Amino acid sequence: MAYLCTEFYVMKKQLFCIFLSLLFISCAQRNGISLQNGDLLFVGNSTGDLSKAIDEVTQTGQKTNFSHIALVEKSGKDSWVLHAAPENGSERIPLEEFIQNERKDGSIIEIYRIKKEFHPDFNSAIEKAKTMLGKPYNFTYVLSDTAYYCSDFVYHAFEKDSIFKMNPMTFKNPGEEEFNPGWIEFYQKLNMEIPEGKPGCNPNGMAASEKLIRIGQL
């Protein structure tokens, strides 16, 4: 009887190890793609008003439709996401949690990677990103050292390598002279002027960078 119990325990342990291995493989690889340290996750435009307003005024010639960007950290067998979001500010969360949160409204998640010829120091970028964790979300989109928005967060993570650059922000739809109605209402609630022309960055502009290559969909 003791022998049967021991054999059952060993078999149960083996099955559990197989389950964990399969779970790890499914988390590390999606659609045949293995995430790497320093990969960038771009989230498609969601149904939210803020997401829509961001996308409308930041469209590029590459027809990107992104309203959020995040940074991937590989730590051993674990995958983490570092980003700045309206809900919790700058945070580090498990990849699976990030995916669940972003897919609640059906948004797609695209994987981009910085090209090797631009010599990005991914470990340094991750460490820099971690120094910004715990800061609130920057709803004004005016550059600050005390709060960050998503693309601003990633920009600063890679600032040492000059991967991205700041450009004058606009809150007008492409080809139009008037401000986007969504942004007019947004800044009225903040009781401040629209920061038109102030330096900034956005997910669509970053995705259009020649320094990035699209890897696929998560």
Q: Output the domain CATH number for residue 71.
A: 3.90.1720.10
Is 38 within a domain?
A: yes
CA distances from 105 to 109, 146, 189 (A): 12, 30, 25
Tell me what pLDDT residue 56 has: 63
Is 183 within a domain?
A: no
Is 98 within a domain?
A: yes
How many percent of the chain have pLDDT more than 70?
77
Q: Is the pLDDT of residue 125 over 50?
A: yes
31 or 87, which is more confident?
Answer: 87
The range of the structural domain enclosing residue 72 comes to 30-138+148-166+202-217
Tell me what pLDDT residue 50 has: 58
Burial status of residue 113 (CB atoms within 10 A of its CB: 0-12, 13-18, 19 or more) = middle
Is 180 within a domain?
A: no
Is 207 within a domain?
A: yes
Q: What is the mean pLDDT of residues 199-211?
A: 94
109 in helix, strand or coil? strand
Helix (H) / strand (E) containing 89: strand 89-94
How does pLDDT run across 36-62, given as a tens digit for each residue? 999 999 998 655 555 556 656 555 555
Is 194 within a domain?
A: no
How does pLDDT run across 83-110, given as a tens digit for each residue? 999 999 999 999 999 999 998 878 899 9
Number of domains comprising the chain: 1
Is 195 within a domain?
A: no
Tell me what pLDDT residue 25 has: 44
Tell me what pLDDT residue 99 has: 96
How does pLDDT run across 5-16, given as a tens digit for each residue? 445 444 545 554
Q: State the angle between helix axes of 122-131 and 150-157 in degrees (0 to 180), rounded to the nearest 10.
A: 130
Is 12 within a domain?
A: no
Are the C-beta atoms of 118 and 161 separated by less than 8 Å?
A: yes
